Structure 1
Amino acid sequence: MPAHNSAPVSVPASGPAPVPVTVLGLGSMGSALAAAFVAAGHPTTVWNRTSAKAAPLVELGAAHAPSAAAAVAASPLVVACLTRYEDARAVLEPAVAELAGRTLVTLNSGSPQGAREMADWAAAAGAAFLDGAVKNVPQAVGAPETQLLYAGDRAVFDGYEPVLRVLGGDTVHLGEEIDLAALYEMAVGATLLPALVGFFHGAALLTGRGRTAASMVPFSVKWLEMIASILPALADEIDRGDYDRPFASVGVFAAGMGDESRQAEEGGLDTGWLEPLQELIRRAVAEGRTEQSVSALTEVLRRPGPTG
């Protein structure tokens, strides 16, 4: 996929000099971003539809703009942290004239297609554009281990990297294809809800027996660390398309499905969330993958099953 061409824009040389920054959108994440910029000494202008949300940041030293257009005009670097790309465009439309020659960075949720459309919109407005994703909670913004992913023009990223890095020490440029941050956000984020629901399922089992969810945490952490330790090997199997020397086979998971369902039913739990996962296993078995690594489910996922 070709990279999107950003409009020509001047960017600062790398260095410690403060750079004025504007943050649009002051939800929990946007407020955390703005606070990190202020703490790092960058003159920070903020704007939000609900102006009261700017008050704590003004107390920290940020300037509150009366409109989105005034906020954009205040800084060469504009960071939009709204819910989706559509929300960012809706806020920026009245400020489109002020965007020309500036750099726009989006840190929001949305699809790779949304990122591509946003890049086209920014280019038409005469702005350089980077798309990004924050891979942590608002409370972690500014920490050395906090990861942020970016995609877009490498020269623009390099020019502003010292400013953006104050948001998290693990700041990564994925490439010039503008939708890569959104793509990786979705690919990596796909782990979150199944993992959390699995934890909630286990917590429901334990609390149903009078145990606390907290008692499960040390064991869950160890389990997640084990999973993390085998991800490189599983990824290697997928990349090579070789599933014949498994850590754990599809058959092992298939054998445990009945006990898993029975235990959930005994505990009075809703087992509906398990059914799609177990159906993947059954499809893999039907394809003759019983002795293959469970990572072969990747191949099953490439061919969606019946929906009716």
Structure 2
Amino acid sequence: MAGDNRTSVTVIGLGSMGRALAEAFVAAGHATTVWNRTPGRAGPLVDQGAMHAASIADAVTASGLVVTCLTTFEDTRAALEPAASALRGRTLVTLSSGSPAGARETAAWAAAHGARLLTGAVKNVPAAVGAPDTLIYYSGDKAVFDEHETTLRVLGGDTVHLGEEPDLAALYEMAVGAMLLPALVGFFQGAAAVQARGLRVDSMVRFAGKWLDMIKALLPVYAAEIDSGDYSDAASSVNLFLAGAVHDDDLAEETNVDTAWLAPLHDLVRRAAEAGHGEHSVSALTEVLRKSPHSGA
């Protein structure tokens, strides 16, 4: 594979996701340098053709494009600090978790060291890295994104630039990611209830998938209601969800499954009804979640 038009890349952080990123770059023919605080993790990648840097400074200086995959923005800055002076003139891409505030702080830190920054988030599991439908979104300087888009696209075919603000990827990461734990805990609760009847959990997987498909189909409807502020066309009203809360209590008693995690959700529904949204679409819960700017929160 000809490599004269391929960008050299450094990947810092070789956990399961970082390894997948490095493997995708190597497979696409990019000269790939890797570094991890625990050097042994680099071995399998070296066997595939990656180069192992002896130090973080060597890793940064090896490539014009430096991709980090560490847990948080704070971890990223701490790992790079010994090589901060080497970042000048290079492009730094962070693929980590963290708040928008953390992203802004990292953007200021990178700018102070002369680096061009893109923040990003991989919205899938490591095994999906490199697939045509894997979503990865970035934010930051659009010119920098355009320069490296072809290289970054080998990580996921659904590659999106959200905007110039460096914290947008972190904002969307947290906004979208907020759905994950409630959905998973809901499945785990259902699994415990099914097992309480002596049934296998895998018997409910197909039905749970169909349920998630239905929820997915409703998201554009709810988004339109929230954007317009018009909740009057209630296919599923707040009162309907309020009435359903008692069924959760009945299930808990019958199956001996702990459903205490639902209490704050039921409280949110009750507060929405008390605020006059009982006959409105359940998307009106957004109005209760949105705190007043004068609330002091």
Give me the TM-score of the superposition, normalised by structure 2: 0.96
Structure 1: 4+ residue segments shifted above 6 A: none
Alpha-carbon contact 1:85-1:118 (below 8 Å) kept: yes
Match 1:65 to one of 30, 35, 53: 53
The structure carrying a bigger helix percent of its residues is 2
Q: Which consecutive residues of structure 2, in runs of 5 or more, have no partner in the other structure?
A: none
Aligned to 2:19: 31
SS of alignment partner, residue 57 of structure 2:
helix
The yes-or-no answer on 1:181 pairing with 2:160 is: no
Give how far 1:237 is off: 0.3
Aligned to 1:121: 109
Alpha-carbon contact 1:265-1:271 (below 8 Å) kept: no
Match 2:252 to one of 264, 271, 278: 264
Correspondences of 1:35-46 after superposition (within 5 Å): 35-46=23-34
Over aligned residue pairs, what C-alpha RMSD do you find? 1.3
SS of alignment partner, residue 10 of structure 2:
strand
* Separation in structure 1 between the aligned mates of residue 74 and residue 29 of structure 2, nearest angstrom: 31
SS of alignment partner, residue 82 of structure 1:
coil
Aligned to 1:89: 77
Aligned to 1:278: 266
Alpha-carbon contact 1:16-1:162 (below 8 Å) kept: no
Give how far 1:265 is off: 2.3
Match 2:215 to one of 213, 227, 242: 227
The yes-or-no answer on 1:238 pairing with 2:226 is: yes
Q: Which consecutive residues of structure 1, in runs of 5 or more, have no partner in the other structure?
A: 1-14
State the one-letter code of the partner of 2:37.
R
Alignment deviations for residues 81-102 of structure 1 (CA, whole Å, 9 cap, x no partner): 0010111111101101111100
State the one-letter code of the partner of 1:277.
L
Corresponding residue pairs, total? 291
Give how far 1:285 is off: 1.2
Give how far 1:260 is off: 1.2
Alignment deviations for residues 127-158 of structure 1 (CA, whole Å, 9 cap, x no partner): 10000000000000000000001000000000
Q: Percent identity?
A: 65
* Separation in structure 2 between the aligned mates of residue 16 and residue 129 of structure 1, nearest angstrom: 25
Alignment deviations for residues 29-85 of structure 1 (CA, whole Å, 9 cap, x no partner): 000000000000000000001000000000000000000000000000000100101
Give how far 1:272 is off: 1.3
Correspondences of 1:1-308 after superposition (within 5 Å): 17-303=5-291
Give how far 1:243 is off: 0.3
